[in-house]
Amino acid sequence: MAISEKETEFLSILKKITRYEEAVSLLFWDARTGAPKKGASDRAETIGELSAVIFEMQTSEKIKDLIESLSNESDHIHNDTRHAVEEAKKVYDLFSKIPAEEYQAFVVLQSQAETVWEEAKEKADFSLFAPYLEKLIDYKKRFLGYWGYSGNKYNTLLDQYEPGLTVEKLDEMFGKLKEAIVPLVKKVGQSSSQPDTSFASVFFPKEDQKKLSLFFLKELGYDFNAGRLDETVHPFQITINPGDARVTTKYNEYDFRSALFGTIHECGHAMYEQNIDEALSGTNLRQGTSMGIHESQSLFFENFIGRNQSFWNRYFTDVKSHAPEAFKTVDEDQFYRAVNESKPSLIRVEADELTYPLHIMVRYEIEKAIFNDEVTVDQLPDLWNSKYEAYLGISPSNDAEGILQDVHWSGGDFGYFPSYALGYMYAAQFKNKLAEDIPEFEQLIEKGEFQQIIQWLKENVHVHGKRKKPLEIIREVTNEELNVQYLIDYLTDKYETLYLKP
């Protein structure tokens, strides 16, 4: 099928948008990895100006006309173009309802707020960040007024990160998960079979941890010709362009587990980005289909590979070689149990597999309360602390380990947090199917041979980019709808074995 003139024009606009998005992504990466603080204000204005140009292209009369025209000719255009038109229409319908000057001001505020959040976290002082958070929430509430909503107000925000999911569905799944996890967390905490983790707090120099992180990135198949590793306050992965998917981590010299599993987690994100079909380059389809599916890949690498006993049967000696003094008296079983330790903790990115979903539920419930006008910004720290006490039995001693610990709200990313728990559910369901298709899954991990596993993920998940919706992928790959029971069974079996069985 020949590409029509309208298709060519439409794709040309998409390609131009991606070029501007690349510049903005590079500025965001720079801001989060050590850019001079004195340049923050001008950098925010630059990001705002570039984002305004992207906004204008996404909401122009030209793109509107092309979307309408190509939608009417959908049977006569390429499949990828049709999907790209659908995605462009969704963006147009959202952003065309927002006045351009309002959107630009919001983007500038996002960049400013992230810089202030870093300072507030460093000083453990929510009052520094609160005025910015209040403005971000006000903007998002105003945007919700433009967008409208069906059912719960939060549904519109949720749909932007996880198409097809609603509060009603989430409440049902989260309710089942919480019902299974909370009593298990209590039993694990009361178990007499607790791991010895004392070695984890022995000094492990940052430079040696970096070498270990680089080692595991290479082992897992991360392409360093299409990425790099850097240090940051809050670990993240960012795609600059199809050949540049960067990862970051945060080192703790008195607990190596933070950087180790943070690096493996971000590797999963990057592997997804590096394996999307190159034919989608320059379009709005060359990115993960949703944040939930994206998280499924990072959590698959972090937990179903990185915390797997077979993985440490293979790699324990490699870890010891990077820290011979710290780990000289540690055996493999002690190490495995230590990296799978479960206990209530305050920091989400350092949480264990079992308690991790409870961290997400706290944030989800708070965000719902914010956008249903049930709580004000000044009440948020107390609400945060009370929910940690209720779900995990612990309470933050300061704002840094409480309400300021995550970067997401500084970017106005409300509706994002549920993706972390959804990703965990997706990952467990994918793993169950992958183990059926590749029965030697455990043996491959123990040999350090990940190519077959990664190829399965690539063919079933990665390659599609945004061609397919998240729930479409889970149905096609596993032959059923998203099912939280796989995650419940995985966590129950693993932690009963580690803590409750003789």
60 contacts 9 by C-beta, under 8 angstroms? no
Look up the CATH number of the domain holding residue 304: 1.10.1370.30
Instruction: Give the whole-angstrom CA distance, residue 281 versus residue 270.
Output: 16
40 contacts 48 by C-beta, under 8 angstroms? no
Residue 47 host element (H or E): helix 40-58
416 shares a domain with 280: yes
Take residue 201 and report the two structure tokens written for it: 């707090």
Take residue 304 and report the two structure tokens written for it: 């179903």
402 contacts 384 by C-beta, under 8 angstroms? yes
Task: Please report the DSSP string for 153-200 in residue order.
Answer: THHHHHHHHSTT--HHHHHHHHHHHHHHHHHHHHHHHH-S-----GGG
Amino acid identity, position 68: E
Take residue 5 and report the two structure tokens written for it: 């003139």
384 shares a domain with 320: yes
Side-chain-side CA neighbours of 326 within 13 Å: the count stands at: 22
Residue 381 host element (H or E): helix 380-392
Amino acid identity, position 445: I
208 shares a domain with 125: no
Instruction: Give the whole-angstrom CA distance, residue 211 versus residue 256.
Output: 12
- Helix, strand or coil, per DSSP, at residue 240: strand
Known catalytic residues are 266
102 shares a domain with 39: yes
CA 271, 277, 278, 281 dihedral sign is negative
Specify if 162 maps to a domain. Answer: no
225 contacts 273 by C-beta, under 8 angstroms? no
Of 40, 19, 16, 12, which Cα lies nearest the Cα of 28?
A: 40
**Sheet with strand 229-231: strands edge to edge:** 229-231, 244-249, 237-241
79 shares a domain with 226: no
Of 4, 137, 111, 135, which Cα lies nearest the Cα of 48?
A: 111
Amino acid identity, position 113: A
Residue 234 marked in a binding site:
no
99 shares a domain with 199: no
Specify if 151 maps to a domain. Answer: no
**For every one of its 502 residues, what pLDDT tens digit does the chain have, with 9 covering 90 and above?**
567 899 999 999 999 999 999 999 999 999 999 899 899 999 989 999 999 999 999 999 999 999 999 999 888 889 999 999 999 999 999 999 999 999 999 999 998 999 999 999 999 999 999 999 999 999 999 999 999 999 999 999 999 999 888 999 999 999 999 999 999 999 999 999 999 999 999 999 999 999 999 999 999 999 999 999 999 988 999 999 999 999 999 999 999 999 999 999 999 999 999 999 999 999 999 999 999 999 999 999 999 999 999 999 999 999 999 988 888 889 999 999 999 999 999 999 889 999 999 999 999 999 999 999 999 999 999 999 999 999 999 999 999 999 999 999 999 999 999 999 999 999 999 999 999 999 999 999 999 999 999 999 999 999 999 999 999 999 999 999 999 999 999 999 999 999 998 7
- Report the domain count for the chain: 2
Model confidence, pTM: 0.92
Instruction: Give the whole-angstrom CA distance, residue 42 versus residue 30.
Output: 13
121 shares a domain with 185: no
171 shares a domain with 244: yes
114 shares a domain with 20: yes
Specify if 373 maps to a domain. Answer: yes
Residue 295 marked in a binding site:
yes
Which structural domain, as residue segments, surrounds residue 90?
A: 5-129
Specify if 194 maps to a domain. Answer: yes
Specify if 411 maps to a domain. Answer: yes
Specify if 142 maps to a domain. Answer: no
- Helix, strand or coil, per DSSP, at residue 374: coil
118 shares a domain with 175: no
460 shares a domain with 320: yes
- Helix, strand or coil, per DSSP, at residue 249: strand
Specify if 281 maps to a domain. Answer: yes
Instruction: Give the whole-angstrom CA distance, residue 18 versus residue 459.
Output: 25
**Cα-flanking dihedrals φ and ψ of residue 240, to 5°?**
-80, -45
355 shares a domain with 266: yes
The β-bridge partners of 249 are: 231
Specify if 391 maps to a domain. Answer: yes
